[in-house]
Amino acid sequence: MIKKLTDKDKKDWLTFIKKKEKLLDKEIKENNKNYNLEKTIDLHGYSLNLANNTIENFIHKCFKENISKITVITGKGNRSQNKNDPYKSEKLSILKYSIPEFIKSNSELLKIIKKINYSSIDNSSSGSFDIYLKKIKE
């Protein structure tokens, strides 16, 4: 069954598209300060020092923006050149393992982190993990 548009429907549509007001994003509740937003950061190809500095700054920035979940993409470490270097730790020279260790050893970051999903770090088929941040106390 095909329903014809009425003149009222057409008029309502034209009125709607001329308005400057836009529909609210379903993910964001404008009147709620606890937005429950998520962000993702991809650290593929970063050196260890750059990745550590970047994730530290990113976590602080997300906390200030009241982000509740961060997905950190590190890669699985399968193509890491560090595996062939006998003087480097295979586990800690790969971002998948070294980034969570860096976070756990940073007391300032731990103050604003609620939880880290360590099970995905231990999963060999996963190249990412999630960080859940605390809410800013008002």
Whether residue 4 is contained in a domain is answered as no
- Domain region containing 129: 31-133
User: Rounded mean pLDDT of 11-34?
Assistant: 61
Calculate what percentage of the chain has a pLDDT beyond 90.
38
Parallel, antiparallel, or unpaired: how do β-strands 37-42 and 113-116 relate?
A: unpaired
pLDDT score, position 33: 52
Mean pLDDT of 101-123: 86
What is the domain-level CATH number for residue 122? 3.30.1370.110
Count the helices and strands in the chain (H runs, E runs).
5, 4
Tell me if 62 is assigned to some domain: yes
Contacts of 38 (CB under 8 A, 6+ apart): 67, 68, 69, 70, 71
Higher pLDDT, 59 or 122: 59
> Could you tell me which of 134, 97, 102 has the C-alpha nearest to residue 118?
97
Higher pLDDT, 78 or 129: 129
Structurally, how many domains does the chain consist of?
1
Both tokens assigned to 53: 């500095």
Is 127 a member of any domain? yes
Q: Is residue 21 part of a domain?
A: no
